[in-house]
Amino acid sequence: MCHSLLATQPPSIDPAWFYSTLAQCSAAIVGLIGAILGSKMLDHLSVVREMRKHVDDRLEQVLRQSNERIDDIKSYARYLRSELEKDHQVKAAGGTSREINSWRDWGSSSSGSAQAIDVNQSIVKKNKDLNDTEKILQNFKHLRGPVTENFINKQITLLTDVTKEIQVEPKRILENDIKLLQVFKDEFNCFQAKLLPKSFFMVFFILSVLSIGGIVWPLFALPGFKGFYSKDWMLIVFTIGLLCLMGYFIIQFNEFKNLGKVLWNKDEQTK
């Protein structure tokens, strides 16, 4: 009877074999995935840095042209105010014309023999030019902040809207600025699209799950020694090392994030 009962009982299986095998397999997979992910991230990081340098060069070109345009517009606005003051002085004195031997327009200046101008017509034209100039300056003041696709689109829209209300010459000049902004937007969007592949996040998630569920957890379930060779202390040290490895990948992700931050104002970017 006893022999029959013993024969029907399943043989006892030591669960330590399961935990140790699971931990060993997971450790091999984690090591392989970690090595591949680390190598891929370093290679991609060098590519992104090169792309960022190209974006910065293009942004520098846009900013240089923008700053030059602002300086030209401010200079032209000062010229208009000075000429308007002279026209009003002539008009207040009862005159209808005055002579000039130099004049300016959008992005150009010239001089020559003295020419007579009608001050009334000149006041009307210069008031219109000054109004257009102040509108454009106001729109250029909005070109500040972190660069995003919406930010660039907003600047393009602002400049496009103002070109609908001004004369031919400044419109042509501003259209060149808009074209350069379009080129910068295309290059910036390409940079953002290639900045950090989503597969990196997925692989990192798998790596974290395997590390916790496939290595740390099974090792804690295994029996261990007591005293100085306590399993708990070994696992604590191992877990700290594993967390440091995860921290390394997080630092790499953060570097990608910082590389993706582009500020329109270079002074803000250095802060």
Residue 7 in any domain: the answer is no
Residue 4 in any domain: the answer is no
Residue 9 in any domain: the answer is no
Does residue 168 surpass a pLDDT of 70?
Answer: no
CB neighbour list of residue 185: distance below 8 Å, 6 or more residues apart: 149, 152, 153, 156
Does residue 239 surpass a pLDDT of 70?
Answer: yes
pTM of the model: 0.70
Residue 244 in any domain: the answer is yes
pLDDT at residue 138, rounded to an integer: 75
Across residues 160-166, what is the average pLDDT?
72
Beta bridge partners of 109: 104
Instruction: Identify whether the C-beta of residue 139 lies closer than 8 Å to the C-beta of residue 158.
Output: yes
The tokens describing 125, both together, are: 């034209």
| Higher per-residue pLDDT: 113 or 76 | 76
Residue 10 in any domain: the answer is no
Dist CA 263 CA 267 (whole Å): 9
The band of 43, judged by pLDDT with boundaries at 50, 70 and 90, is very high
What does pLDDT average to over the chain?
Answer: 81
Q: Of 110-114, 160-164, 261-265, which one has max mean pLDDT?
A: 261-265
Q: Is the dihedral of CA 204, 209, 215, 219 positive or negative?
A: positive
Note down the domain range covering 241.
20-262
| Higher per-residue pLDDT: 191 or 118 | 191
Residue 164 in any domain: the answer is yes
Across residues 113-141, what is the average pLDDT?
79
Residue 210 in any domain: the answer is yes
Instruction: Identify whether the C-beta of residue 74 lies closer than 8 Å to the C-beta of residue 140.
Output: no
Q: Of 96-100, 218-222, 242-246, which one has max mean pLDDT?
A: 242-246
Residue 212 in any domain: the answer is yes
DSSP 193-204: HTSS-HHHHHHH
Half-sphere exposure of 90 (CA within 13 A, CB side): 20
Dist CA 227 CA 192 (whole Å): 54
pLDDT at residue 186, rounded to an integer: 94
Q: Into how many domains does the chain fold?
A: 1
